[in-house]
């Protein structure tokens, strides 16, 4: 019997044991020979992608790692499409002996991409080919934050695949638990491997304004739940994990595993769109019923903090949630594709005057801006 407080969609996800995060990967956490990010001699398979600055302060992209031969690569191409950067390296020399040597390449975005990078989060994919006719293969991936952006206050709790977006389809049974402590992010990933066996990973790392990159380590060989025994707990193959928070309740995550290829190391990568959802039966706006505190960054004619109660006041045109109470009215535009995810935008009014527009809407907090451009927040009051 499933617990009555779990939405049917989440419960059905758990019974789809064969579906999940690792179904599209040939390697699995239960594989007899897990992948490693190191060669037998201790050299890393991973490639580092990071930002650096010239003497004049201009941002550069630096690529470092190990190349499988002393015939070091050069930049074959670099392209920018929206926030996606694709860089391709190639070694054009023939008849190179096989032993690894370090490589270090710096790219100037202004000259390589045609313009300097604006403020924001960029998704950088590094492809490489070791040979004149070799196929380009993915060698690295990173999220680079350029400039200073207002931070996203991601909610701690359970996050699930967002079926309203293409990247969230086909990931039933996969979930991520986030815990945020100041600028530290902890992530626990749970899903199923290709044999339908449960798999989970855990890791911590630094949370930047809108993104984080973690090393996740899977565990196996632990004590059974109902037995106290001396177990040989061991770390399984590690994954790289990247997350970009679009709002307090929406994000995209990338899972990566390094493998040895025929000519060079390569990276298997999968992205999944995830969303924070309430763990109660979904009744639309009722998930935002309750006590709230409104925090204003600047308020010349109003208190900096004010507490009020909101209750569901119906639907407008079947697309707008409306809650009201204590002189406030909150209107939120629900996603037209599904009623199971939080609204993308909300407006708070009082006496017909706009108090704030919120473009980051979670279950327990809303973040946005007042008409004068200063920040406003709504935080749920825990009355337990």
Fold of the 284-380 domain = Lipocalin (2.40.128)
How high is the pLDDT of residue 234?
55
Q: What are 342's two structure tokens?
A: 């939080």
How high is the pLDDT of residue 248?
93
How high is the pLDDT of residue 194?
63
**Calculated CA dihedral for residues 28, 32, 34, 40, nearest 10 degrees:** -160
The residue among 323, 327, 338 whose CA lies nearest residue 380 is 323
* Phi, psi of 117, rounded to the nearest 5 degrees: -80, 135
Q: What are 349's two structure tokens?
A: 């009014």
For the stretch 11-68, pLDDT in tens is 333 323 323 333 333 233 333 233 345 554 455 778 999 999 999 988 999 999 999 9
The CATH number of 8-34+150-276 is: 2.40.128
How high is the pLDDT of residue 230?
64
The kind and range of the H/E element at 112 are helix 109-112
The domain locations on the chain are 8-34+150-276, 48-146, 284-380
Q: Burial of 28 by CB count in 10 Å (0-12 exposed, 13-18 middle, 19+ buried)?
A: buried
284-380 has the same fold as 8-34+150-276: yes
Distance CA 169, CA 156 (A): 23
CA angle 80, 140, 168 (to 5 degrees): 75
Distance CA 239, CA 217 (A): 6
The residue among 143, 158, 165, 321 whose CA lies nearest residue 249 is 158
User: pLDDT tens, position by position, for the chain (384 residues)?
Assistant: 333 333 333 333 332 332 333 333 323 333 323 334 555 445 577 899 999 999 998 899 999 999 999 999 999 999 999 999 999 999 988 778 888 899 999 999 999 999 899 999 999 999 999 988 899 999 999 999 999 988 999 999 999 999 888 888 888 888 999 999 989 999 999 877 667 777 788 999 999 999 999 999 887 666 777 877 666 655 566 789 999 999 999 999 999 988 888 888 899 999 999 999 877 765 667 888 999 999 999 877 678 899 999 998 765 556 788 899 999 999 998 776 666 678 889 999 999 999 999 999 998 999 999 999 999 999 999 765
């Amino acid at each position: 019997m499933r617990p009555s407080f779990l939405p049917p969609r989440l419960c059905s996800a758990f019974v789809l044991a064969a579906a999940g995060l690792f179904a599209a990967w040939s390697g699995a956490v239960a594989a007899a020979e897990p992948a490693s990010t190191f060669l037998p001699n201790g050299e890393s398979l991973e490639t580092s992608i990071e930002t650096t600055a010239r003497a004049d302060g201009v941002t550069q992209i630096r690529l470092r790692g190990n190349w499988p031969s002393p015939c070091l690569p050069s930049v074959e191409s670099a392209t920018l499409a929206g926030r996606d950067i694709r860089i391709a390296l190639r070694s054009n020399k023939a008849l190179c002996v096989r032993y690894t040597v370090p490589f270090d390449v710096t790219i100037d975005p202004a000259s390589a991409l045609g313009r300097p990078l604006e403020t924001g989060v960029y998704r950088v994919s590094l492809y490489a080919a070791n040979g004149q006719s070799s196929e380009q293969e993915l060698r690295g991936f990173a999220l680079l934050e350029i400039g200073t952006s207002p931070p996203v206050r991601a909610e701690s709790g359970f996050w699930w695949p967002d079926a309203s977006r293409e990247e969230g389809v086909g990931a039933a049974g996969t979930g991520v638990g986030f815990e945020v402590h100041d600028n530290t992010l902890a992530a626990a990933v749970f899903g199923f491997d290709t044999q339908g066996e449960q798999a989970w990973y855990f890791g911590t790392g630094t949370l930047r304004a809108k993104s984080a990159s973690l090393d996740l380590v899977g565990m196996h060989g632990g004590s059974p739940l109902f037995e106290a025994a001396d177990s040989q707990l061991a770390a399984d193959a590690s994954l790289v994990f990247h997350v970009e928070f679009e709002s307090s309740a929406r994000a995209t995550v990338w899972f990566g595993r390094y493998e040895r290829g025929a000519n060079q190391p390569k990276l298997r990568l999968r992205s999944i769109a995830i969303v924070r959802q309430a763990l109660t039966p979904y009744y639309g706006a009722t998930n935002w019923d309750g006590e709230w505190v409104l925090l204003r960054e600047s308020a010349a004619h109003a208190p900096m903090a004010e507490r009020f109660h909101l209750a569901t006041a119906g639907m407008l045109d079947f697309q707008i949630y409306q809650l009201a109470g204590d002189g406030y009215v909150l209107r939120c535009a629900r996603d037209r594709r599904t009623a199971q995810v939080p609204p993308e935008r909300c407006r708070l009014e009082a006496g017909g005057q706009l108090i704030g527009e919120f473009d980051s809407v979670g279950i327990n907090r809303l973040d946005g801006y007042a008409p004068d451009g200063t920040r406003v927040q709504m935080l749920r009051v825990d009355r337990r």
